[in-house]
Structure formats: structure tokens, C-alpha cells
Amino acid sequence: MATDPDRAKPDANTIAQANTDSSDLILRAVAFAAHKHRDQRRKNKEASPYINHPIQLATVLWEEGRVQDAKVIAAALLHDTLEDTETSWQELRGEFGEEIADIVLEVTDTQWIKKELRKRLQVARARHSSGKARLVKLADKICNLRDIGAHPPHGWSLERKQQYFDWAKEVVDRLRGTHAGLEQKFDEVYALKPE
């Protein structure tokens, strides 16, 4: 039975619509995150706008990791909304669908648990995360280490910076095998650990 070669290839309109849908999703995610984080600042000396951080994650994934899955990029933009704003999983699901809401939930720390236990849970849960959540987590750790190296939170001692670097490496070591390029980027920034 012969197949029609023209049917196997998507036409230009189908490709254009898929690109439009992806762009729309990413733009909606950045607008939603910007609104939710509008009054928040990073803890660095400059008190830079918090939204810069999720945008950095999306940029690392897209430009450095060549990750062009719009749902991963959207989840990266939204990754701190459950943890750091009044956003609920239900709200995310309603705006962006269950898959993106679930990715965000996977990378969200449980705030009512003590900090040390939260950190241990993040290490333990890393290996069992979905592939898309693992990509977001990798980008988050890359961006956090870059920020701590270049613009550390105000008042952080050398020891605290070193501890964060080491903890981030524990998390990433459990994500190994997810994306070789992003893992290499992490290793490069980890090599700049404050001494």
C-alpha cells in the first residue's frame, strides 16, 4: 500500500500554527509570572526584580540547552509561582493545563517544612522527577550558582555560598543523564565555587 508523501509532511500552515501556539504559551507564561512576582526582589545587594530569575531559566534552556519544548519553557518561567506567590496548582492548571502545573509542582519546595529537611527532600526527589521537571531543575541550579557567584544574596558568608554550591551539586548529581549539555554548563559554573 503506497502512502501519499504529501500527507506525511506537515504543511506550512500547520507549522506556523504550532509555532504560534508555542509562542502564545510562552508569552502567557512570562506575563503570568511577571504579574505574580511583580512586588518581589532577588536577595542580592542590587535587589534586582525577581522576574529576571525565571527569565534566566527560560533563556538557559532555550539558548544554551537548545530545549525548545514550549511546555518546559513555560514551566521554567512559572517554576517559583507556587513556592513564592499566592498561586495555587488549580490556578496554574486552569491557565496552562495539568502537565505544566504538574511540572511546576514537581520543582516546588514544601514551604512549611524546615529548611534543612526541604533541602534533603529536594536531593531525594530529584532522581524521581519527570524529564521535563529535571530540565527545569537543572536550569534553576545553573542560574542560582551563577547568581551566587556574581551577585550573592546580601550578607551571605563564604561558607554559606560554598554550602549552597555543594548542595546544588548533590541535586544535580541525581539529575545526571537528563541533558549532557546542561550538565556540562552546571559543571562549568560549579568549578567557579567561591574559595
pLDDT in tens, 140-173: 999 999 999 988 888 899 999 999 999 999 999 9
Q: Give the pLDDT of residue 16.
A: 52
**How confident is the model over 56-66, as pLDDT tens digits?**
999 999 999 99
Within a domain: 103: yes
Residue 1 placed within a domain = no
Residue carrying the nine cell digits 519546595: 109
Tell me if 124 is assigned to some domain.
yes
Contact 117, 38 (CB under 8 A): no
**Given this model, what pLDDT does residue 1 score?**
44
CATH number of the domain enclosing 151: 1.10.3210.10
Q: Which residues contact 69 (CB under 8 A, 6 or more apart)?
A: 132
What's the pLDDT tens digit per position in 8-58? 566 555 555 556 689 999 999 999 999 999 998 888 777 789 999 999 999
Asked if 168 and 82 count as a contact pair (C-beta separation under 8 A), the reply is no
CA dihedral in degrees (124, 107, 169, 176; nearest 10)? 80
CA 62 remoteness from chain centre: 11
List alpha helices for 5-130, DSSP H.
Answer: 5-8, 12-36, 52-59, 70-78, 81-84, 89-96, 98-106, 115-126
This prediction has a pTM of: 0.88
Q: Report how many domains make up the chain.
A: 1
The set of catalytic residues is 83-84
Q: Which three-class secondary structure state does DSSP give residue 120?
A: helix
How many Å from the N-terminal Cα to the C-terminal Cα in the chain?
A: 67
Q: Considering the domain boundaries, does residue 4 fall inside one?
A: no
Indicate whether 6 belongs to any domain: no
Does residue 7 belong to any structural domain of this protein? no
Which domain covers residue 133, as residue numbers? 12-190
**Contacts of 195 by beta carbon, 8 Å cutoff, 6+ apart:** none
